[in-house]
Structure 1
Amino acid sequence: MRRVSRIAVAGVAAAALAVTVSACGSSSSESAGGSGKSKGIGLAYDVGGKGDQSFNDAAYAGFQKAEKDFGVGGRDIEPQDGESDADKVQRLETLAKSGYNPVIGVGFAYAPAVKQVAAKYPKVSFGIIDDNTIHAKNVADMVFHEEQASYLAGITAAKTTKKNHIGFIGGVDIPLIHKFEAGFVQGAKSVNPKIKIESQYLTQTPAEGGFSSPDKGENAANGQIDAGADVVYHAAGLSGQGVIKAAAAHKVWAIGVDSDQYAQSALSAYKDSILTSALKNVSGAVYELAKSVVKDKKPLSGEVRGSLDNGGVGLADSNPVFKNNADLQAALKKAEQGIKDGTITVKTS
């Protein structure tokens, strides 16, 4: 495993057997194992699905590691295009009714469905990533200080740009992604208050494809690079693959998100243009919830928040160009300490 700066990221186990679940999306894997009341872990993906090399794939890594370490089964189910909350409810009910425990919704869009299904199945533990509005005894609200990792990404961009001109591309114009932008801008301006920052959101709603359209990401990045940006940070899920592709084509830097995108095999053709990635330990969150249910028999519930202080967010240092930049690393270390001790407060909007 590549070393990752001050954050523990769950490893990836072997892929499981492919199956299909009708009426509630396709399920890409189900592995044998498990005993007693729980068949293992149920995982329902967000828009973009598995293969985004980012948010959903981070959840899948934690899912696979839990399957391997705890000797249980698991079923992971893909979303459908244009699906409704009712589709999500049916998907989660299918997992709960089939005996999977915990059942995890990957993404804030699952909040209404998790709230409804958790109330119907009080003996099943549920998890939701990126939402903390449910407040039920059998639900773990797994959230992160994305703005903290983004602050470090902003410092990285400002220390790396040769033109004092950088860019941010958000997938969807929503409060969650505003946190990424706010931290990035604040971090960059802590280095150079006069730095020029391009900022763009791909869509207003997830249904319009902001998190699932690499072509939209590529077009936006091309526009920012043509305008003069030579480091572009994305918080756009699958759409971010287009941002990275554009950066590589123009020979400028991209900063990835959620997973260590430099280390993703599907992005290997572009890796030399991926300076770092702002990580949030979605894989670890999935793994720890599974552990609490399957092994510890003390299910997590309530808000579980990842931060720099507990290793829930950070920056990947797989790229030697990033890792070996002594001036940058010193600045990042100082900033990280300031965030941890409270002398730096990172904005969320």
Structure 2
Amino acid sequence: MAAALASKSGKVGYIGSLKPSQFDSNELGFIAGVKATNSKSTVMVKYLSSASDFSGYSDPAEAKVIALNMISAKVDVIYAAADGSAAGTFAAASGKKVWTIGSDVDQYLMATDSQRKNMLTSTIKRADLATYDFIATSLRGSSVNDVLDTQQGIYGRLYTLEMGGVELSNSGGFISKFKSKIGAAKSSIISGKIVVPTTGQAK
């Protein structure tokens, strides 16, 4: 959503590290958010590698090439969901009128001063919450053992948006002006009014 709100060209990009064999729920959710915000927006998707080629997780040079190609195609917001390769995207956008979005952690805190000027936000996975719960329950002689999938024997805890398991960074304050719209969308997702796709193809 933030990408579509910030884009002036109506063209945004998604750079992933490893293309999955079926679908990438991260990509699907991103596209769905963009389209829900501006149905006329286009999303350019590129992956650094596929199948058993894990180089995409740590290839900032290739990520930079892909990002520069996107920028040449008038993409003005790029979501770098590319693990260690994301640094190449941030370098490509530096000094240009292009926004970047980091993933997993608050990339703004690790970026250079010049890269921070382009860093719109980051999608943060709150691994610290899971760590805290694990330690706290262990000290109480218990465990985090919610039933997730009985057929496959998967137990643990799924940290959802409602539980604060994921959030957007506002370091730099660039998405402050979108706070009300993002907040409304968050509430709609939590209530079930908006269903974020995790399988199939985002429309």
User: Which TM class, normalised by the smaller chain length?
Assistant: 0.7 to 0.9
In 2, distance between residues paired with 1:248 and 1:242?
10
1:288 Cα offset (Å): 2.3
**CA shift for structure 1 position 249:** 4.1
Check the 8 A contact 1:262/1:268 in 2, yes or no. Answer: no
Structure 2 counterparts to residues 222-241 of structure 1, below 5 A: 222-241=68-87
Secondary structure, in 3 states, of the residue corresponding to 1:305? coil
Partner of 1:254: 100
Pairing 1:221–2:76 present: no
Deviations 1:127-155 (A, max 9, x none): xxxxxxxxxxxxxxxxxxxxxxxxxxxx1
Counterpart for residue 123 of structure 2: 278
State how far apart, in whole Å, the 2-side matches of 1:285 and 1:198 are.
Answer: 33
Q: Is residue 168–residue 200 contact of structure 1 (8 Å, CA) maintained in 2?
A: yes
SS of the aligned residue for 2:179 comes to: helix
Give percent identity, aligned residues only.
31
- Structure of higher CA gyration radius: 1
TM-score by length of 1: 0.52
Answer yes or no: is 1:160 the counterpart of 2:13: no
Maintained 8 Å contact 2:160/2:166: yes
Distance 2:183 2:100 in 1: 21
> Partner residue of 2:166?
313
TM-score with structure 2 setting the length: 0.86
How far has the Cα of 1:223 moved from its partner? Answer: 1.2
Give the whole-Å Cα distance in 2 for the aligned partners of 1:205 and 1:229. Answer: 27
Q: Distance in 2 between matches of 1:313 and 1:306?
A: 7
Secondary structure in 2 aligned to 1:297?
coil
Matches within 5 A, 1:62-141: none
Cα distance in 2, alignment partners of residues 255 and 187 from structure 1? 14
State the secondary structure of the residue aligned to 1:288: helix
Task: State the distance in 2 between where 1:305 and 1:267 align.
Answer: 33
Q: What is the one-letter code of the residue matched to 1:181?
A: E
The residue identity in structure 1 corresponding to 2:140 is: D
Look up the equivalent residue of 2:106 and give its one-letter code: D
Distance 1:287 1:176 in 2: 33
Contact 2:67/2:89 (8 A) holds in 1: yes
**2:36 maps to what in 1?**
190
- Count residues with an aligned counterpart: 190
SS at 2:142's partner residue? coil
Contact 1:218 1:242 in 2 (8 A): yes
For structure 1, the 5+ residue unaligned runs are: 1-154
Partner Cα distance (1:205, 1:321) in 2: 36
How far the C-alpha of 1:322 sits from its partner, in A, is 1.6
CA drift of 1:176 comes to 9.3
**Partner residue in 1 for 2:179:** 329
Task: State the Cα distance separating 1:269 from its structure 2 match.
Answer: 4.0
Distance, in Å, in 2 between the alignment partners of 1:285 and 1:251 is: 37
Indicate the residue corresponding to 1:296 in structure 2.
140
Say whether the 8 Å CA contact 2:21–2:51 is kept in structure 1. no
Shift of 1:303: 2.9
Q: Secondary structure at the match of 2:68?
A: helix
CA shift at 1:206, angstroms?
A: 6.0
